[in-house]
Chains A and B, each alone.
Chain A
C-alpha cells in the first residue's frame, strides 16, 4: 500500500473507532439508570457492542500502523481525539439518547453495508461481521424513536427537541476527512455524499412517520474532527481516570 493511502486509511479507522468508543462510554453511563430493567440491560448490551466495534477498528489500525488501542484510548488527550461531536454530548433524557443512537445506527449500518465491498479486504471482512448486529441496533433504536415520537405529548415534545438539537451534529457524520477522496477513488471507502443521500432517504421518511419535524438545514455543526465541544474533556477524564492512575498496570 502506498504511504499516502496508508496514512489516509489510518485516519479513517481512527475516526470510526473514536466515534464508537465514545458512544459506548455514553451508553454505558445508563447502566443502573435506565427507565426499566430490560432497557438497562439493553443499553449496557449496546455499550458493549459499540465497544466491540471500536475494538475492531482499533485492531485494523494496529495491523496497519502498529498503534496500540489501549494507548490510544486511555492516554490520548482530548485535542488528539478524532471523533464527531455528537458522541461527546451528554446523554440528556431517554429521548435524546435513543434519537442519537438512531441517527448514528442508520449511518453506521449504511456505511458498513458499503464497506463490505471495500477493496481493502480486512475492512470488508470486519464490516460484514459487525453489520449483522447493527441491524438489531437499528431495529431497537427505531422502535423507540417511533414510539416516543407518536406517544404522549411529553414524549413527542422531548423527542422533537432531541431531533432539533442533534440534527446538525448528525450531519457531521458525512463530512469527508481531508484525505478521504483518494480512498474513495481507490474503492476503499464509499463516497460520503452518496452515503449522506442514502441516510437521508432512510431517516427523512421514518422521522416524518414518527410525527417529527426535521430541521431545515444540511449544515453540519463542525467540519473538522479536530474541533471538539466542551463535553469531551470531562468525558475522557472519567473514562481514562483509572488507567492513568497506574499506567504500567497489567490487567
Chain B
C-alpha cells in the first residue's frame, strides 16, 4: 500500500461492475467505500443504480485487482510469481478514451496461477485486435455478486421512478422557452 493509502482513514474501496441486462458484458462504473462486501453491494446499488437498468452488480476490493496501463506494461518487467494454484480470473479492458461513464469493460475469462500469469495470457488472447489502454485482472474469488433474487427488490423499482429522470421535469421546456425569447 502506498503512503496515501496508509494515511487513508476511510473504509476500503470497492470497484463496482454493472451488467445492464442478462448476457451483456460487465462494465466498471465506479467505486464505493464500504466496511465490507455486503455493505459495498448496498452502496453500489444506491450510488450506481438510481437511474439506469441493472441486472447484476459485482463489487471487488480495489486492492484485489491487478491494474496495468499500456505504459506500465511497456516499462515494467513483472515479477513472475507463477507458483500458485490455478484460479479463474475475469479480464477487463479499456479500449476507448471517449466513454465517460464506463472505465473498463469485460472481455473474457482466464485460468492462471497468478494475476500476472493471467495478464500475460490475456494479452496474448485478447490483446491483438485494437489498442488497449488499461488492463484489469479480477480474481473470481474476490467477486461478491447480487443474484437473480435481488433484481426485484434492488433494481426493478427504479423503472417506475420516472421522477429520477431529468425528462420528468419541465426544466427543458422552460430552458427552451427562455432561449427562444432571448433570441428574439
Interface positions of A (Cβ within 8 A of B): 36-39, 41-42, 45, 48-49, 52, 129, 132-136, 139-140, 143, 147
Further pairs besides A38-B33, A132-B153, A135-B153: 12, Cβ < 8 Å: A38-B34, A38-B43, A41-B46, A41-B47, A41-B50, A42-B46, A48-B161, A48-B163, A133-B157, A136-B42, A136-B154, A147-B39
Asked if A38 and B47 make an inter-chain contact with CB atoms under 8 angstroms apart, the answer reads yes
Interface size class of B (residues with CB under 8 A): 20 to 34
B149 to chain A, nearest CB (A): 10
Chain B 153-184 interface mask (CB, 8 Å, partner A; 1/0): 11011001101100000000000000000000
Give the CA-CA distance A38 to B35 in the complex, in Å: 12
Which B residues touch A39, using CB under 8 A? 43
Asked if A147 and B35 make an inter-chain contact with CB atoms under 8 angstroms apart, the answer reads yes
Which A residues touch B43, using CB under 8 A? 38-39, 42
Asked if A42 and B42 make an inter-chain contact with CB atoms under 8 angstroms apart, the answer reads yes
CB-CB under 8 A for A143 and B38, given A132-B156, A133-B157, A136-B154:
yes
Give the CA-CA distance A38 to B161 in the complex, in Å: 20
Pick the residue among B34, B38, B46 that contacts A45 (CB under 8 A).
B46
Give the CA-CA distance A138 to B50 in the complex, in Å: 18
Which B residues touch A37, using CB under 8 A? 33
B10 to chain A, nearest CB (A): 8
Which A residues touch B156, using CB under 8 A? 132
Interface residues of B in 100-125 (CB under 8 A from A): none
Which A residues touch B163, using CB under 8 A? 48
What residue in chain A is nearest B153 (Cβ atoms)?
A135
Which A residues touch B154, using CB under 8 A? 136
A194 to chain B, nearest CB (A): 24
Q: Counting CB contacts under 8 A, is B152 at the interface? A: yes
Pick the residue among B42, B152, B160 that contacts A143 (CB under 8 A).
B42
Give the CA-CA distance A52 to B39 in the complex, in Å: 24
A28 to chain B, nearest CB (A): 14
Give the CA-CA distance A135 to B26 in the complex, in Å: 25
Asked if B33 and A140 make an inter-chain contact with CB atoms under 8 angstroms apart, the answer reads no
Which A residues touch B152, using CB under 8 A? 132, 135
